[in-house]
Amino acid sequence: MKDILTIAMPKGRIFEEAADMLRKAGYQLPPEFDESRKLILDVPNEKIRFILAKPMDVVTYVEHGVADVGIAGKDVMLEEERDVYEVLDLKISECYLAVAGLPDTKINDVAPKIATKYPKVASSYFREQGEQVEIIKLNGSIELAPLIGLAERIVDIVSTGRTLKENGLVELEQICHITSRLIVNPVSYRMKDEPIDELVERLSKVIGG
C-alpha cells in the first residue's frame, strides 16, 4: 500500500461536492463512484483507494493512519480535536453552526438544556458567553428536541435554513462559519509527501478558480 494514497471521504451531503472537486482537479473517478454502496473503492489508474465513512469518523480513520488523507467539515474538526493536520480549506459545503429554538421560548431554568451533536463546541461557546447550560448529546434530527420538550435550545448546523423553518424554529445566535477541510495524517505527510503535495496543489488550483 506504500504507493497507494488512501482518501477517507464522508458519506452524505459533502460527498458529491468533494467528488466533483476531485474530478475538476483532474482525478479520473469512474461514474459508478457516486452511485456505489461499496465502502472501499479502488481507482488503480490514479493509485488512489477511497474509503467511505460517516463524516464524524473520517477524522478517526485519518488519525489512526488507515487513511492518509480525508475530507472533513470544520464542525467535526472543532468537535473532535484530533491529531491530524488540516492542510487546506476546500471552501465547499458552506454552512454555519448556530443556536436555535422555538420563538418566544421563556427560559426560567438556571441551566437551560441545549441539545446538540456538538457537545464540546456547544459547551465552550456557552462558557465563553458566561451562560450556564446543560448539554444533551444527540446524534441527529436535533431540531426535534425543542419541539417535544427535550431541550429549550439547540446548537446545530444551518445550511439552507429549511430544517429550522419547516419545524417552526428560529435562529438565535450564529457561532461560526463552516467549510470542508482536507486533513492529513502526520506520518503519511512525511512518508507520502509526493502524492499528498500533488493532491494539495491540484485542489488549490480548483479553489483558486
Q: Which parts of this chain interact with ligand PRP (CB under 6 A)?
A: 13, 117, 140-143, 156-163
Of 119 and 161, the one with the shorter C-beta distance to ligand PRP is 161
Q: Is 45 helix (H, G, I), strand (E, B) or coil?
A: helix
Shortest spacing between CB 71 and ligand PRP, in angstroms: 15
Of 84 and 95, the one with the shorter C-beta distance to ligand PRP is 95
With a CB cutoff of 8 Å and minimum separation 6, the contacts of 22 are: 29, 203
Shortest spacing between CB 157 and ligand PRP, in angstroms: 4
Of 97 and 196, the one with the shorter C-beta distance to ligand PRP is 97
* Residue number with the smallest Cβ distance to ligand PRP: 140
Of 153 and 192, the one with the shorter C-beta distance to ligand PRP is 153
Shortest spacing between CB 149 and ligand PRP, in angstroms: 18
Shortest spacing between CB 43 and ligand PRP, in angstroms: 26
Of 32 and 166, the one with the shorter C-beta distance to ligand PRP is 166
The cell numbers describing 56, all together, are: 464524524
CB 182 within 8 A of CB 92: no
Please count the CA atoms within 13 angstroms of the CA of 122 that sit on its side-chain side: 23
Shortest spacing between CB 2 and ligand PRP, in angstroms: 35
192 closest CA partner among 69, 72, 70, 42? 69
72 closest CA partner among 48, 51, 89? 89
Around Cβ 190, how many Cβ atoms within 10 Å?
A: 9
